[in-house]
Structure 1
Amino acid sequence: MSAQAPFIFPLRGLGQGLYTYELVADDAFFASFKDAPVTRADIKLELTVDRRTREMTLTFDFAGTIATTCDRCMADIDLPIAGKESLIAKFTSGADEMEDEANLIYLDPDTSLFNAAPYAYELILLAIPMIRTFDCREGSAPFPCDEEMLDRIDDSIEYASDGDVKEDGDTDKPSPWDVLKDLS
């Protein structure tokens, strides 16, 4: 059975009303997509389908973790992600000529099966933050982050006597760029 099979549901015979599917986006799910940037994941996804005569609304509500590298300390972490997004599918003849929009797709009224996997994949990837950092010292030990790297980062930050971080102009330490000021 394909990793995307649970995401494929029949439209024929699916009467009007609300339907809820409990799905999982895991390692096998992401491996089923070519060049997926996620290799390890554990995401629980609830797909709610609100079927109407001429349209259907799909609501993707997901939460879980993905394996990545912390951008702060470079340690391997399981980054928590969550999101809730909706997709509207309108049934119209000539859907092949119509161009899909951000949260709106067009389906032919005779479509028998609908694969929600590509949409779930895209929404999960869009929920991953651009800067992937973990609250390194929050919660209980053992912490997933690299303590040695965090200590080096903390040592490189200078603090003023009142506890605030010193600005670049506040430091007494010479800058390595000061040498360039004399070249003219």
Structure 2
Amino acid sequence: MKKLRDYEIGIAKLSNRKHKYEFQLDDAFFEEFGKDIILGGNMKADVELDKTESLLTFHFDIKGQVRLTCDRSLEEFDHPLDVQATFRIKYGDENAELADDLWQITPNTQAINIAQHLYDYIGLALPMKKLHPRFVEEEADEEEDDRDILIYSSRDDSDTDEDEDDEDDTDPRWDALRNLN
């Protein structure tokens, strides 16, 4: 967790204006969060902090590549990402999470650590299906080929008098039940 201190922004002494920060997110950054989903990466995060009397607005612009494991072949591969996100913090009586992108902090808070936010925004930008680029191309080709193929149809367009045929083909036991009305 010592490495994550590099991602702290001291807000107590900042003036009310826009401030720009740049962070490098490398393998050491991703190791701090474990290697469950993201194995590593090389990303650059440009953070713009707009500070006013009552609100802190963080604009994140994260670009680079992360190393993932392919769901199909279990091979590692680099996946490019370009993430933009906004996060707001307002001042209040207690520390609380008011929404996914809105927090409340007390006025005496000295610094904000944005490491978890950076990791979360990267994690949310990952695809659900993590496929090596060679499988993505194969899958796209298969989808193009399958577009014109009709696999199953329960409707027979050659029979236009379908309703009349259905009455003749019914089981006679059902006819007795229809007469009960």
> Residue 94 of structure 2 aligns with which residue?
95
Inter-partner Cα distance in structure 1 for 2:9 and 2:89: 14
Change (3 A) 1:21 1:99: closer
Inter-partner Cα distance in structure 1 for 2:149 and 2:73: 22
Change (3 A) 1:164 1:118: closer
Stretches of structure 1 lacking an aligned partner (at least 5 in a row):
137-144, 171-184
Selected match of 2:117 from 116, 119, 122: 119
Deviation at 1:164, TM superposition (A): 6.0
Deviation at 1:114, TM superposition (A): 1.0
> Residue 55 of structure 1 aligns with which residue?
55
> Residue 79 of structure 2 aligns with which residue?
79
- TM superposition score normalised by structure 1: 0.70
Change (3 A) 1:102 1:78: same
Inter-partner Cα distance in structure 1 for 2:114 and 2:91: 15
> Residue 173 of structure 1 aligns with which residue?
none
- 8 A contact 1:30–1:36 mirrored in 2: no
Q: Following superposition of structure 1 onto structure 2, how do residues 21-36 of structure 1 map, counting pairs within 5 Å?
A: 21-34=21-34, 36=36
Inter-partner Cα distance in structure 2 for 1:164 and 1:35: 38
Inter-partner Cα distance in structure 2 for 1:26 and 1:44: 9
> Residue 8 of structure 2 aligns with which residue?
8
> Residue 166 of structure 1 aligns with which residue?
149
Question: How many pairs align?
Answer: 153
Inter-partner Cα distance in structure 2 for 1:101 and 1:130: 23
Change (3 A) 1:165 1:52: same
> Residue 139 of structure 1 aligns with which residue?
none
Deviation at 1:29, TM superposition (A): 0.7
Please identify which structure carries the higher helix content.
2
Inter-partner Cα distance in structure 2 for 1:105 and 1:45: 21
1:126 counterpart SS class: helix
1:111 counterpart SS class: coil
Q: Which moved more, 1:14-23 or 1:72-81?
A: 72-81
Q: Cα deviation per residue 1:121-153 (whole Å; 9 max; x = unaligned)?
A: 1111111111223543xxxxxxxx6x9xx5xx8
2:3 counterpart SS class: coil
Inter-partner Cα distance in structure 2 for 1:52 and 1:131: 40
- 8 A contact 1:50–1:56 mirrored in 2: yes
- 8 A contact 1:68–1:78 mirrored in 2: yes
Q: Cα deviation per residue 1:52-87 (whole Å; 9 max; x = unaligned)?
A: 111110011101111113346654310111110000
Structure number with larger C-alpha Rg: 2
2:12 counterpart SS class: coil
> Residue 20 of structure 1 aligns with which residue?
20
Q: Cα deviation per residue 1:18-44 (whole Å; 9 max; x = unaligned)?
A: 111110122111111256521211111
Inter-partner Cα distance in structure 1 for 2:23 and 2:97: 28
Q: Cα deviation per residue 1:80-127 (whole Å; 9 max; x = unaligned)?
A: 1111000000011x223x443111001110001110111111111111
Inter-partner Cα distance in structure 1 for 2:108 and 2:34: 29
Q: Identity of paired residues, percent?
A: 24
